[in-house]
Structure 1
């Protein structure tokens, strides 16, 4: 692996982890576009890699910090987590079967809608 690639991976990882911890974004909103642009990953590769990265280390550490501050509603979290497993299974099955161009558009539209809602919403 080239040093430049290694450094790029470090930057993407740090930015994704920072965004996840700071904003609760899941990091993928930062890492997926960076992997598409700078690593020339397919949409499926970027999403799969992002999920693999976030699965344990960032999620556990970030959630623990929020837990220490009393900022987690465990009842709601458990209900959503169980549903998240089902949604994640079917969503990932769909993502690996549909056309990459369509998946990129879906990802972009979701990011745009969420961004606009956060900027212009109440």
Structure 2
């Protein structure tokens, strides 16, 4: 193989990474559908898992923030409340926008509606 053993290991990882936006948006759409349909037997366990994951993410983020504050020697460098709020809001905003953008990119690429040319840069390395 052209990229050796590392390429063979990374191929399935990158293949999954390529279609991950489809999985993410489909899961979110199904969650909304089940909530609207009143299927709380499905929604309940999913929300418990999401709440546990979110709690772990917030705790880890706050731990990292504490480490960062000690590293830079400034205990007031970043807001704990803002960090916790960002960890709660991010999965419902940025992640969905990121996945939507990836899907739109794939639609443009596969549909041939966009032309993909090399970038021409000015002012870099002149």
TM normalised by structure 2 equals: 0.28
Higher helix residue share:
1
Structure of greater Rg: 2
TM normalised by structure 1 equals: 0.28
Larger relative contact order (CA 8 Å, sep ≥ 6): 2
